[in-house]
Amino acid sequence: DAGVIQSPRHEVTEMGQEVTLRCKPISGHDYLFWYRQTMMRGLELLIYFNNNVPIDDSGMPEDRFSAKMPNASFSTLKIQPSEPRDSAVYFCASNQWAGRTEAFFGQGTRLTVV
Amino acid sequence: GENVEQHPSTLSVQEGDSAVIKCTYSDSASNYFPWYKQELGKGPQLIIDIRSNVGEKKDQRIAVTLNKTAKHFSLHITETQPEDSAVYFCATYTGGFKTIFGAGTRLFVKA
Protein backbone atom coordinates (compact mmCIF):
# COMPACT_ATOMS: atom_id res chain seq x y z
CA ASP A 1 0.00 0.00 0.00
CA ALA A 2 1.24 3.51 -0.80
CA GLY A 3 0.21 4.82 2.60
CA VAL A 4 -2.15 7.70 3.29
CA ILE A 5 -2.22 10.00 0.29
CA GLN A 6 -3.07 13.67 0.58
CA SER A 7 -3.49 16.29 -2.09
CA PRO A 8 -2.48 18.90 -2.81
CA ARG A 9 0.85 19.09 -0.95
CA HIS A 10 0.78 22.86 -1.02
CA GLU A 11 -2.10 25.27 -1.48
CA VAL A 12 -1.96 29.04 -1.65
CA THR A 13 -5.25 30.83 -1.87
CA GLU A 14 -6.72 34.24 -1.34
CA MET A 15 -8.86 35.08 1.64
CA GLY A 16 -12.50 34.34 0.98
CA GLN A 17 -11.87 31.53 -1.48
CA GLU A 18 -13.03 27.96 -0.99
CA VAL A 19 -10.34 25.39 -0.26
CA THR A 20 -10.74 21.62 -0.55
CA LEU A 21 -8.17 19.21 0.85
CA ARG A 22 -8.25 15.57 -0.15
CA CYS A 23 -7.26 12.31 1.51
CA LYS A 24 -7.08 8.66 0.52
CA PRO A 25 -6.68 6.43 3.59
CA ILE A 26 -4.94 3.08 3.69
CA SER A 27 -7.16 0.34 2.37
CA GLY A 28 -8.84 -1.60 5.16
CA HIS A 29 -8.53 1.11 7.77
CA ASP A 30 -11.86 1.87 9.38
CA TYR A 31 -10.87 5.14 11.05
CA LEU A 32 -9.91 8.40 9.38
CA PHE A 33 -8.74 11.51 11.21
CA TRP A 34 -8.17 15.10 10.13
CA TYR A 35 -5.59 17.10 12.12
CA ARG A 36 -4.37 20.67 11.90
CA GLN A 37 -0.82 21.56 12.93
CA THR A 38 0.38 25.03 13.84
CA MET A 39 3.31 26.31 15.87
CA MET A 40 1.00 27.84 18.43
CA ARG A 41 -1.45 24.99 18.95
CA GLY A 42 0.46 21.90 17.92
CA LEU A 43 -1.51 18.95 16.55
CA GLU A 44 -5.26 19.46 16.87
CA LEU A 45 -7.80 16.79 16.02
CA LEU A 46 -10.51 18.37 13.89
CA ILE A 47 -12.79 15.44 13.10
CA TYR A 48 -12.72 11.68 12.74
CA PHE A 49 -14.75 9.10 10.87
CA ASN A 50 -15.50 5.47 11.55
CA ASN A 51 -16.67 3.42 8.58
CA ASN A 52 -17.28 6.66 6.65
CA VAL A 53 -19.51 8.11 9.37
CA PRO A 54 -18.42 11.29 11.21
CA ILE A 55 -18.16 10.40 14.88
CA ASP A 56 -16.76 13.49 16.56
CA ASP A 57 -16.42 16.90 14.94
CA SER A 58 -16.00 18.85 18.16
CA GLY A 59 -12.54 19.95 17.03
CA MET A 60 -13.80 21.71 13.93
CA PRO A 61 -13.09 25.35 14.72
CA GLU A 62 -16.00 27.02 12.93
CA ASP A 63 -18.88 26.38 10.58
CA ARG A 64 -16.58 27.42 7.76
CA PHE A 65 -14.99 24.00 8.11
CA SER A 66 -16.72 20.88 6.85
CA ALA A 67 -15.59 17.33 6.15
CA LYS A 68 -17.05 14.45 4.21
CA MET A 69 -16.23 10.82 3.58
CA PRO A 70 -18.40 9.60 0.71
CA ASN A 71 -16.72 6.18 0.62
CA ALA A 72 -14.04 4.15 2.34
CA SER A 73 -11.27 5.41 0.10
CA PHE A 74 -11.82 9.16 0.01
CA SER A 75 -12.35 12.08 2.34
CA THR A 76 -12.38 15.84 1.92
CA LEU A 77 -11.89 18.76 4.27
CA LYS A 78 -13.38 21.99 2.99
CA ILE A 79 -12.92 25.54 4.22
CA GLN A 80 -15.35 28.11 2.89
CA PRO A 81 -14.63 30.99 3.05
CA SER A 82 -10.96 30.70 3.94
CA GLU A 83 -9.20 33.20 6.24
CA PRO A 84 -5.51 33.93 6.87
CA ARG A 85 -5.71 32.33 10.33
CA ASP A 86 -6.57 29.03 8.65
CA SER A 87 -2.99 28.87 7.38
CA ALA A 88 -1.50 25.65 8.77
CA VAL A 89 -0.46 22.15 7.79
CA TYR A 90 -3.43 19.79 7.60
CA PHE A 91 -2.85 16.08 8.10
CA CYS A 92 -5.02 13.13 7.37
CA ALA A 93 -4.40 9.89 9.26
CA SER A 94 -5.98 6.46 9.27
CA ASN A 95 -5.83 3.27 11.30
CA GLN A 96 -7.71 0.10 12.08
CA TRP A 97 -8.42 0.48 15.76
CA ALA A 98 -8.85 4.17 16.51
CA GLY A 99 -6.40 5.30 19.16
CA ARG A 100 -5.50 1.81 20.30
CA THR A 101 -2.91 1.25 17.61
CA GLU A 102 -0.56 3.17 15.38
CA ALA A 103 -2.01 5.99 13.30
CA PHE A 104 -0.60 6.36 9.79
CA PHE A 105 -0.26 9.95 8.69
CA GLY A 106 -0.18 11.41 5.22
CA GLN A 107 2.46 13.90 4.11
CA GLY A 108 0.16 16.81 4.89
CA THR A 109 -1.16 19.78 2.96
CA ARG A 110 0.47 23.11 3.71
CA LEU A 111 -2.24 25.73 3.34
CA THR A 112 -1.43 29.41 3.05
CA VAL A 113 -4.28 31.91 2.92
CA VAL A 114 -3.18 35.39 1.87
CA GLY B 1 -10.54 15.62 29.62
CA GLU B 2 -7.18 13.98 29.13
CA ASN B 3 -4.17 16.27 29.13
CA VAL B 4 -0.63 15.40 28.05
CA GLU B 5 2.32 17.59 28.98
CA GLN B 6 5.63 17.12 27.21
CA HIS B 7 9.08 18.41 28.21
CA PRO B 8 11.36 19.86 27.10
CA SER B 9 10.03 21.78 24.12
CA THR B 10 13.53 21.97 22.64
CA LEU B 11 16.51 19.71 23.25
CA SER B 12 19.99 20.05 21.85
CA VAL B 13 22.56 17.27 22.30
CA GLN B 14 25.97 16.38 20.93
CA GLU B 15 26.17 13.45 18.56
CA GLY B 16 26.70 10.27 20.54
CA ASP B 17 25.02 11.58 23.68
CA SER B 18 21.67 10.41 25.00
CA ALA B 19 18.39 12.31 24.76
CA VAL B 20 15.44 11.96 27.10
CA ILE B 21 11.96 13.37 26.54
CA LYS B 22 9.32 13.15 29.25
CA CYS B 23 5.53 13.24 29.21
CA THR B 24 2.94 13.26 31.93
CA TYR B 25 -0.73 12.46 31.54
CA SER B 26 -3.79 13.02 33.66
CA ASP B 27 -6.19 10.16 33.00
CA SER B 28 -5.33 6.99 34.88
CA ALA B 29 -7.41 5.01 32.37
CA SER B 30 -4.88 5.73 29.61
CA ASN B 31 -3.66 2.40 28.26
CA TYR B 32 -1.67 3.01 25.09
CA PHE B 33 1.33 5.35 24.76
CA PRO B 34 2.83 5.85 21.30
CA TRP B 35 5.75 8.06 20.33
CA TYR B 36 5.90 9.70 16.91
CA LYS B 37 8.78 11.27 15.04
CA GLN B 38 8.12 14.05 12.55
CA GLU B 39 10.79 14.98 10.07
CA LEU B 40 10.72 18.23 8.16
CA GLY B 41 7.99 18.27 5.53
CA LYS B 42 6.55 14.93 6.55
CA GLY B 43 3.75 13.59 8.69
CA PRO B 44 4.40 12.06 12.13
CA GLN B 45 5.52 8.45 12.06
CA LEU B 46 5.35 5.93 14.89
CA ILE B 47 8.76 4.97 16.25
CA ILE B 48 7.85 3.02 19.38
CA ASP B 49 4.84 2.41 21.59
CA ILE B 50 4.05 0.84 24.92
CA ARG B 51 0.91 -0.48 26.54
CA SER B 52 -0.12 -0.08 30.14
CA ASN B 53 0.71 -3.66 31.11
CA VAL B 54 4.40 -3.14 30.30
CA GLY B 55 6.92 -0.97 32.13
CA GLU B 56 9.64 -0.72 29.51
CA LYS B 57 10.19 -1.45 25.85
CA LYS B 58 13.32 -1.18 23.78
CA ASP B 59 14.03 -1.15 20.06
CA GLN B 60 17.69 -0.75 19.17
CA ARG B 61 18.72 2.76 20.23
CA ILE B 62 15.30 3.88 21.43
CA ALA B 63 13.43 2.85 24.55
CA VAL B 64 10.29 3.92 26.33
CA THR B 65 9.55 3.63 30.03
CA LEU B 66 6.18 3.90 31.69
CA ASN B 67 5.40 4.71 35.31
CA LYS B 68 1.68 4.25 35.75
CA THR B 69 1.68 5.27 39.39
CA ALA B 70 3.26 8.61 38.64
CA LYS B 71 1.45 8.88 35.27
CA HIS B 72 4.50 9.61 33.25
CA PHE B 73 6.39 8.00 30.40
CA SER B 74 9.66 8.82 28.75
CA LEU B 75 11.47 8.33 25.46
CA HIS B 76 15.18 7.53 25.61
CA ILE B 77 17.44 7.77 22.57
CA THR B 78 20.99 6.54 23.03
CA GLU B 79 24.02 7.19 20.83
CA THR B 80 22.21 9.99 19.05
CA GLN B 81 22.94 10.65 15.39
CA PRO B 82 22.27 13.71 13.21
CA GLU B 83 19.40 11.87 11.52
CA ASP B 84 17.64 11.71 14.89
CA SER B 85 17.06 15.46 14.58
CA ALA B 86 13.30 15.92 14.30
CA VAL B 87 10.20 16.78 16.31
CA TYR B 88 9.04 14.04 18.68
CA PHE B 89 5.48 13.72 19.95
CA CYS B 90 4.24 11.62 22.81
CA ALA B 91 0.59 10.59 22.84
CA THR B 92 -1.91 8.73 24.96
CA TYR B 93 -5.09 6.84 24.29
CA THR B 94 -7.77 6.49 26.95
CA GLY B 95 -10.82 5.50 25.02
CA GLY B 96 -13.46 7.20 22.95
CA PHE B 97 -11.31 6.70 19.86
CA LYS B 98 -9.15 9.76 20.41
CA THR B 99 -5.39 10.01 20.60
CA ILE B 100 -4.16 12.98 22.64
CA PHE B 101 -0.81 14.40 21.52
CA GLY B 102 1.77 16.28 23.52
CA ALA B 103 3.02 19.63 22.25
CA GLY B 104 6.17 18.14 20.76
CA THR B 105 9.93 18.30 21.42
CA ARG B 106 12.29 19.63 18.79
CA LEU B 107 15.50 17.60 19.03
CA PHE B 108 18.73 18.91 17.54
CA VAL B 109 21.69 16.55 17.32
CA LYS B 110 24.92 18.44 16.68
CA ALA B 111 27.58 16.65 14.70
Q: What is the mean pLDDT of the segment spanning A16-22?
A: 98
Residues 6+ apart with CB under 8 A from B78: B18, B61, B62, B63
Looking at residue B97, its pLDDT comes to: 67
The answer to whether residue B52 neighbours chain A at the CB level (below 8 Å) is no
- Mean pLDDT computed over A77-88: 97
Q: What burial class does residue B66 get, using C-beta atoms within 10 Å of its C-beta: 0-12 exposed, 13-18 middle, 19+ buried?
A: buried
Give the pLDDT confidence of A87-101 residue by residue, as tens digits: 999 999 999 876 677
Task: Please indicate whether, in this complex, the C-beta atoms of B46 and A103 are within 8 angstroms of each other.
Answer: yes
B33 lies within 8 A of chain A by CB = no
For the segment A42-54, the average pLDDT, to the nearest whole number, is: 93
Beta strands A104-105 and A42-50 are unpaired
Per-residue model confidence as pLDDT tens digits over B65-111: 999 999 999 999 999 999 999 999 999 987 766 788 999 999 999 99
Return d(Cα A94, Cα A105) in angstroms, integer.
7
Taking only residues 46 to 85 of chain A, the set having a beta carbon closer than 8 angstroms to any beta carbon of chain B reads: 48, 50, 55-56
Please check whether residue A29 is in contact with residue A48, taking contact to mean a CB–CB distance below 8 angstroms: no
The span from the CA of B83 to the CA of B98, in Å, is: 30
**Cα–Cα distance between A98 and A19 in angstroms, integer?**
27
